[in-house]
């Protein structure tokens, strides 16, 4: 299958590197159409890609007759309409996460694409980090026994001077840090610990979430790339205008899984929570415990013994993610074949978790995932 590709959010923090990988993915791939809101950057991108259409109207991209695969790399609130239009028009989809603003959107998107027999991919890239793949193998080998507790820390600290972007706006960003790194963290855990015929899913969550960062420089409608560039050259006080974020940038999530395992997910984008001080992921089983460092180090503790270095997994990088993962997944699903790569069904499952977590933060109590999913899908 050859791909004529349309990219929505083509010049943003995510869309820009995706386009480069697509351009380098091989002769059976061509970027046909681009959509972005800023004309100067859009025209430059179209020239770089050789695209025949550059527009600020996403519908023109989806409707283009030479486009058969659409990459949806826009802010969270803009995914639903585009994906549903792709389903109606028979276009395969790559959709960024969170796939929707809520479970209802995510479930409808999944059903529409599935029932249309289309290929789909959701970029839960952590599944392709070598140390996590090796940890999954160790769990499958039975080294840890039955998983009893899962502790996950993911601090994706932003620079102290970073300006306000749409990711800080609760009206556009689906639950902030919960929907961003929380999505990736939960998908990784369920993928790493699930076995054929047995899904490792959360049963209920209890969450505290907040905005703990100070007000940020307000430079207008800039994207994350521009914000990171500005923060590398300025201090926060260099901007006279400041804007307080409304989307969560911190959350502590107590989780309980269907097999009775318990634990905690601690996630943040706040500058004051810095990464690298502790292992990112701890898996505690009936026989042993495994600590997973994103640097590649795996530590194993058995019975009452001290933890010891089990191995260090070299990081070979992702390579070209579209050539290695995305395009094979689209082809497999379009042909009705089994596919190991994440898709909109995984996006929906993860959205149940992130929605339940956001609701728990609002209520201040436990939320059952199955109950919430049923309510939002029926509503």
pTM of the model: 0.94
pLDDT in tens, 206-256: 999 999 999 999 999 888 999 999 999 999 999 999 999 999 999 999 999
346 exposure class (CB count in 10 Å sphere: 0-12, 13-18, 19+): buried
CA 231 and chain centroid, separation: 24
Domains 3-125+319-342 and 126-312 share a fold: no
Q: Please, are residues 155 and 273 in contact by the beta-carbon 8 Å criterion?
A: yes
Residue spans of the domains in the chain: they are 3-125+319-342, 126-312
Q: Please, are residues 354 and 182 in contact by the beta-carbon 8 Å criterion?
A: yes
Segment 122-128 shows an average pLDDT of: 97
pLDDT in tens, 184-197: 999 999 999 998 77
The position carrying tokens 């919960």 is 178
Backbone φ, ψ for residue 109 (5° rounding): -65, -45
Q: Cα(240)–Cα(248) distance, rounded to whole angstroms?
A: 24
CATH number of this structure's domain 3-125+319-342 = 3.40.50.720
Confidence of residue 379 (pLDDT cuts 50, 70, 90): low
Rounded to 10 deg, the angle between the 181-193 and 344-363 helix axes is 120
Segment 140-168 shows an average pLDDT of: 95
The pLDDT value given to residue 377:
72
What Cα–Cα distance (Å) separates residue 87 from each residue in 93, 302, 336, 377? Answer: 8, 50, 16, 19
Beta strands in 211-364 (DSSP E): 216-217, 242-243, 250-257, 262-268, 281-285, 288-292, 297-302, 308-312
Q: Taking the CB of residue 196, how many other CB atoms lie within 10 A of it?
A: 5
The pLDDT value given to residue 303:
82
pLDDT in tens, 255-264: 999 999 999 9
Q: Which fold has domain 126-312?
A: Dihydrodipicolinate Reductase; domain 2 (3.30.360)
**Span of 215-224, 284-293, 328-337 with lowest mean pLDDT:** 215-224
Tokens of 223: 């994207």
The pLDDT value given to residue 373:
84
């Amino acid at each position: 299958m050859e791909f004529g590709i349309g990219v929505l959010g083509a010049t943003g923090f995510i869309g820009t590197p995706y386009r480069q990988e697509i351009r380098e993915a091989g002769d059976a791939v061509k970027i046909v159409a681009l959509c972005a809101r800023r004309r100067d950057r859009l025209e430059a991108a179209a020239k770089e890609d050789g695209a025949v259409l550059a527009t600020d109207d996403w519908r023109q991209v989806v409707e283009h007759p030479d486009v058969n695969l659409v990459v949806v790399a826009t802010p969270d609130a803009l995914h639903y309409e585009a994906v549903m239009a792709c389903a109606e028009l028979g276009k395969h989809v790559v959709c960024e996460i969170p796939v929707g603003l809520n479970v209802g959107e995510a479930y409808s998107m999944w059903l529409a694409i599935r029932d249309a027999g289309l290929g789909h991919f959701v970029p839960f890239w952590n599944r392709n980090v070598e140390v996590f793949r090796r940890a999954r193998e160790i769990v499958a080998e039975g080294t840890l026994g039955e998983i009893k507790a899962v502790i996950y820390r993911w601090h994706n600290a932003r620079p102290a001077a970073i300006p306000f972007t749409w990711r800080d706006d609760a009206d556009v960003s689906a639950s902030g840090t919960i929907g961003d790194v929380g999505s990736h963290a939960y998908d990784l855990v369920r993928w790493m610990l699930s076995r054929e015929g047995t899904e490792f899913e959360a049963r209920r969550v209890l969450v505290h979430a907040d905005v703990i960062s100070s007000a940020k420089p307000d430079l207008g409608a800039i994207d994350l790339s521009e914000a990171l560039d500005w923060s590398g050259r300025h201090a926060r006080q260099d901007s006279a205008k400041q804007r307080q974020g409304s989307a969560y940038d911190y959350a502590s999530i107590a989780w309980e899984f269907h097999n009775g395992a318990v634990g905690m997910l601690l996630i943040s984008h706040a500058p004051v929570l810095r990464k690298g001080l502790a292992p990112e992921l701890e898996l505690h089983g009936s026989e042993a415990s495994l600590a997973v460092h994103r640097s590649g180090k795996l530590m194993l503790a058995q019975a009452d013994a001290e933890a010891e270095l089990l191995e260090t997994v070299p990081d070979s990088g992702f390579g070209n993610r579209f050539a290695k993962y995305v395009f094979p997944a689209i082809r497999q699903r379009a042909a009705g074949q089994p596919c190991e790569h994440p898709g909109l069904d995984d996006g929906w499952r993860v959205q149940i978790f992130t929605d339940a977590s956001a609701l728990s933060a609002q209520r201040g109590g436990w939320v059952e995932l199955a109950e919430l999913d049923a309510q939002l899908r029926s509503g």
